[in-house]
Amino acid sequence: IERPADYIQIAKNILESYPLSLEHGIQKDAIQNGWDACIKKTQNYVKNNWKFEFELVERPDLKMLIMSDFGTHGLSGKMTAKDVTEDENPPEEERWARWESLAFGKGDEENLGARGQGKMIFIAASKDHAIFYDSLREDGSYRMGVTQATHKGCPILHYNEDNGRKKIEECLGLKAIDHQGTRVIIRNPEEEVIESIKNGDFLHFIEETWWPIIIKFGAEINIKYGGNILRANSPDLFPITKKTEETKTFKIWC
C-alpha cells in the first residue's frame, strides 16, 4: 500500500520555493523544458527549427494555457511512470517516463530544470490542479497524458496513438499536436496568469529571463491570445547587448 500524499499541497510547497511569482515560474520552467529538449543548440538550427509558443485560449466552457515546443525530441521513450523501478532512474532517452516522474535529475546538472519539479508549478497554476500533455515523438509515434493532483495522490493516465487523439479532443476540444515536439496544457489557469499575459508582464518575464538565447541563437518565443501574436525580444534593460554579436572578447552565456 502506498502512503497517501497531498499533491495539491506539494504543488503549493514547490511553488513557494520559486523566488518570484507564479507567472514568472511558469514561463521559466516551460521554456527550460523546451530548450533542454532542443535537438541541436546551434545558431543555424535554433533560428530555423526551434520555437516555443504560449497560447491563451478562452472559451465560454473552458480556459487553457497551451505551451508548445518545436524542433525538439518530443517526449520519446517506451517507458511510462509505472515502468520506473525502485532500483534505477529512467535512462535519459526515456523522456516520457522522466516527465511523468518527480524529482529525477537530468544527469547533466548544467541543464536547466534538473530537479524535474517544473511540472508541479503547472499543476499549481491550474484551478483544477490538472494538466494535459501530448507529444509527437522522434519515431513518429503519438502519446497523450493527463494528471490531476488530489489531496490523496496524483493519478496519471496516458493513451497511445488514436486513443490519445480521441481522448484529447474529447477532454479539451483540441486536435492532437501536429508537429514533432511536446505540448503541455494547463486547464483553467489561475486568473493572475491570464492577467499577466494580457497586461504584458508575462512577455516581460520571458524577455528578462531568456534574452541570452534570443540574442545568441535567434530563438523565437511567442505569446498568442485574442488574435494577437507577440514575439519576445531582447529587453531594453540590456542596451549594450541588444544588437551585439559575439566576438573574441565579448561572449554571451546561457
pLDDT tens digits, 48-63:
999 999 999 999 999 9
Cβ atoms of 147 and 154 within 8 Å: the answer is yes
Claim: this prediction has a pTM higher than 0.75: yes
3-state SS class at 66: strand
Cβ atoms of 29 and 210 within 8 Å: the answer is no
pLDDT digits (tens, 9 = 90+) for 188-208: 999 999 999 999 999 999 999
Quick check: 149 pLDDT over 50? Answer: yes
| Residue with cell string 525530441 | 73
Angstrom distances, CA of residue 82 to CA of 92, 96, 100: 16, 11, 9
- Which three three-digit cell numbers place residue 54? 504560449
**Mean of all residue pLDDT scores within the chain:** 86
pLDDT at 211: 93
On the 0-12 / 13-18 / 19+ scale of CB atoms within 10 A, 52 is buried
